[in-house]
Amino acid sequence: MSQGDALDAMHHVAISVDDVAEAIRWYSERFRCRVVYQDETWAMLQFANIRLAFVSQNQHPPHIGFVMADAEQFGRLKPHRDGTRSVYLQDPSGNAVEILAPEGPLQ
């Protein structure tokens, strides 16, 4: 990698929760953050340095998300309700990794 190459960015960490609204309430009461997206099955909180997603256990896998300029190299990008487009991969240990295109309201 040359010095001029842009680094990929970590976009968010997604954790599995039993109740999305309860998780938002708990984290919002204890930490300075804001809700940037919420529906029945998942939500995204913005902190100063990273986003934290809450995902329903039966709807979305716990995962880490990265923004990459060439995200489509990993497969067809799927559009999501929040306006982002991404593809999911698994690392060698079976962890879910989401690769997001660098556009959309949550970038």
Tens digit of each residue's pLDDT (9 = 90 or more) over 5-42: 677 899 999 999 999 999 999 999 999 999 999 999 99
Q: Is residue 78 part of a domain?
A: yes
Please state whether the predicted TM-score (pTM) of the whole model is above 0.75: yes
Q: Is residue 106 part of a domain?
A: no
Q: Is residue 82 part of a domain?
A: yes
Q: What does the block give as tokens for 62? A: 């716990």
pLDDT of residue 24: 98
Place of tokens 């497969």: 75
Measured CA to CA, the distance from residue 70 to residue 15 in angstroms comes to 25
Q: Is residue 105 part of a domain?
A: no
Domain housing 23: 9-100
Domain CATH number, residue 90? 3.10.180.10
Residue 1 scores a pLDDT above 60: no
Contacts of 21 (CB under 8 A, 6+ apart): 38
Q: How many structural domains is the chain composed of?
A: 1
At residue 57 the predicted structure's pLDDT band, cuts being 50, 70 and 90, is confident
Measured CA to CA, the distance from residue 1 to residue 77 in angstroms comes to 25
